[in-house]
Structure 1
């Protein structure tokens, strides 16, 4: 049974891709179009598109393009709105990290590099220029490290220097993560699971993560959690997570400090409703100040509105930020965000309690690059943010269109950084 789940997962992965609309015939380089990507919790999992689109529909909205070579190996993932290159938005998972990701292969390696919307190679997750997987004799991923521009190994922004995977006879996988000095690293900041035992469903999607000690015993972290049970649909869209203790009982824990999270998605795989519950299956506010939320999108798939609701599903304010509704306005192409603003339950403008502004306005230069971000109060006047002290920020770019500088100003026009 060793590694049977991976064989099944890869088979389903390749068979599943025929649902999407290809740009050319089989056995030739081909492109498939998707509205979003499957959820992943670990870089062991192969990236996969979710919710297939025809080319015609894709070119009218935000979408991903998954490109494959004549051997049907993934060669790139890129994100667009129509034919306009974009950085990934709310549809991305933890490891979709740039407008375009390029995959290359050697007999015992798989490499990923990252590119901006201007076609320039970039660093992601700190100083990571390249992800480098080592493969075992059967072609399965056995480790991952990160390299900067000169090829030197580096830690990523989560403090992880190396991933290592061990395949178990019963179909599970042990994931170890280490920092630069060889100490165990958590799965990511705010998520205090260290050594993991992973289980996947028959389609290769993550189903259960267990925090274990060196002997394989379940270990509860400081929040009382030792397991995350994850429910996805067949396309890999996130439906629910449950936090469990050593006895597999529901336990409020981990970053959100809830026992259950439930999502409802639309036909494009976008989250339209979310709610949090405690160990008794009752609605609660999470650690970040949210109990329930509802989200609306425009025809391109951009977020245009999000509202918050309490335990009884009544309109309510975010517990910490103090607003009920977030509105985002886009230009007519759906590519440029024009403004972002906050409103109370009576639909009156209100200031973000921890940031100190009501509205954000975005300005662009003649090359369509973001040039200025301004912060305004409820009267439309410049206001200094409570957290940074900035009333507006001005961006500079090099000759290649890469952002090279940012200057912060207060409401009087004085440079503060």
Structure 2
């Protein structure tokens, strides 16, 4: 068996847990996943006594050490994600996993324990497994059991091993056509290269005809680097021949994530192929995120290349973190400021109607509401 196929078996069976006999474990964060081929992995393990003080992920296991549930919690209460960066390719407060011969089924739940559609119309995500337990495909279904698509217009993933022991991945949309990895990442078929610890190190674009290919930005390879805690700290962009380029959506050669000592991502910045700081394609030279003591995002700021403030958002929540109350846009002096990213307003308020649906209300800095006629 190739090393990556063997690794996949190990990942499916035990790498989910640092202790296969444990019924539950707790982690502050989840390891980055570019592809749903990889399993969920917790990083920054927590002592049980700390779970009442900070948001975290609770992993539950069956008698075989396989993960059966992951919940985002504060103490014993499941809470929303509130803009966290950890659950890429998950997008729900809780996922439950069931196993059967040849299948692994994921379903998604809200904070009240009621099943929900996640990331588009994904009610069930069904992995097919080969005889060795390796993932070979993933299909999405809606509440009625019909094939459905996620928010990236993907309805099916397919994986097969490469001759050198790595993994090829293709994605398909509802029309059966190959689909990009994400709307903002123009890689079609990709070769996923994992290191000996199961972390994705290289992703190579093979286009639509199984040939190393540059996309429209000139990018053909992404390299991903991690620190010793398992944080995704850096990506680097190359063309298909391995030459450094500025490409993909951010249009930098090297992007860097900065973390605090608890693993919260507090900053992001970019560099060109010569190591010189440069802005991302959306104009920011630097992005900063702040967190409260419970590990929840409370502020986001971005700066223009002249280091003037471009965005300054504050996020407010209920005391128990069960609901987000508002997003506010402010100037450098902390005064409310209208912003096009808030529909031209300075405040976005969240409330609930009698049916429990989230109602969004935009208001200008002077307090006047923005009506549908204004939009």
- Common fold, TM-score beyond 0.5? yes
Q: Does 1:359 align with 2:347?
A: yes
Distance 2:237 2:125 in 1: 30
Distance 1:254 1:18 in 2: 35
Match of 1:317 among 303, 309, 315: 309
Counterpart residue number, 1:34: 27
Q: What pairs up with 1:137-152 in 2 under 5 angstroms?
A: 137-152=131-146
Quickly say closer, same or farther: Cα 1:8–1:350, change in 2 above 3 A: same
Counterpart residue number, 2:116: 122
Distance 1:211 1:283 in 2: 26
Is the 2:204–2:240 Cα contact (8 Å) retained in structure 1?
Answer: no
**Alpha-carbon deviation of 1:336?**
3.4
Counterpart residue number, 1:338: 325
Counterpart residue number, 1:262: 256
Is the 2:221–2:240 Cα contact (8 Å) retained in structure 1?
Answer: yes
Counterpart residue number, 1:53: 46
Distance 1:374 1:154 in 2: 30
Distance 2:9 2:27 in 1: 19
Aligned to 1:158, the other structure's residue is in SS state coil
Aligned to 1:252, the other structure's residue is in SS state coil
Is the 1:38–1:235 Cα contact (8 Å) retained in structure 2?
Answer: no
Greater Cα shift, 60-69 or 288-297: 288-297
Counterpart residue number, 1:44: 37
Is the 1:309–1:317 Cα contact (8 Å) retained in structure 2?
Answer: yes
Match of 1:77 among 70, 73, 76: 70
Match of 2:187 among 186, 193, 218: 193
**Alpha-carbon deviation of 1:279?**
2.4
Distance 1:280 1:217 in 2: 28
Greater Cα shift, 274-283 or 36-45: 274-283
Aligned to 2:177, the other structure's residue is in SS state coil
Q: What pairs up with 1:238-277 in 2 under 5 angstroms?
A: 238-277=232-271
Distance 1:159 1:375 in 2: 29
Counterpart residue number, 1:297: 291
Distance 2:174 2:330 in 1: 45
Counterpart residue number, 2:216: 222
Counterpart residue number, 1:407: none
Counterpart residue number, 1:94: 88
Count of aligned pairs between the two proteins: 372
Match of 2:365 among 366, 375, 378: 378
**Alpha-carbon deviation of 1:201?**
1.3
Please, which runs of 5 or more residues in structure 1 have no aligned partner? 20-25, 391-409
**Alpha-carbon deviation of 1:15?**
6.0
Counterpart residue number, 2:276: 282
Question: 1:294-349, CA deviations, whole angstroms, 9 ceiling, x for partnerless residues?
Answer: 2211011111222223447x4x232xxxx3x2222334334433332222234443
**Alpha-carbon deviation of 1:268?**
2.4
**Alpha-carbon deviation of 1:87?**
2.5
Distance 1:199 1:79 in 2: 29
Quickly say closer, same or farther: Cα 1:119–1:307, change in 2 above 3 A: same
Distance 1:96 1:226 in 2: 26
Quickly say closer, same or farther: Cα 1:335–1:192, change in 2 above 3 A: same
Match of 1:173 among 167, 171, 178: 167
Aligned to 2:17, the other structure's residue is in SS state helix
Is the 2:120–2:150 Cα contact (8 Å) retained in structure 1?
Answer: yes
Aligned to 1:153, the other structure's residue is in SS state coil
Is the 2:26–2:59 Cα contact (8 Å) retained in structure 1?
Answer: yes
Match of 1:107 among 101, 107, 113: 101
Quickly say closer, same or farther: Cα 1:357–1:233, change in 2 above 3 A: same
Distance 2:175 2:96 in 1: 29
TM-score w.r.t. length of structure 1: 0.82
Aligned to 1:361, the other structure's residue is in SS state strand
Is the 1:60–1:82 Cα contact (8 Å) retained in structure 2?
Answer: yes
**Alpha-carbon deviation of 1:114?**
1.1
Distance 1:33 1:185 in 2: 35
Distance 2:146 2:96 in 1: 19
Greater Cα shift, 85-94 or 190-199: 85-94
Please, which runs of 5 or more residues in structure 2 have no aligned partner? none
**Alpha-carbon deviation of 1:110?**
0.8
Quickly say closer, same or farther: Cα 1:196–1:273, change in 2 above 3 A: same
Is the 1:203–1:234 Cα contact (8 Å) retained in structure 2?
Answer: no
Aligned to 1:17, the other structure's residue is in SS state coil
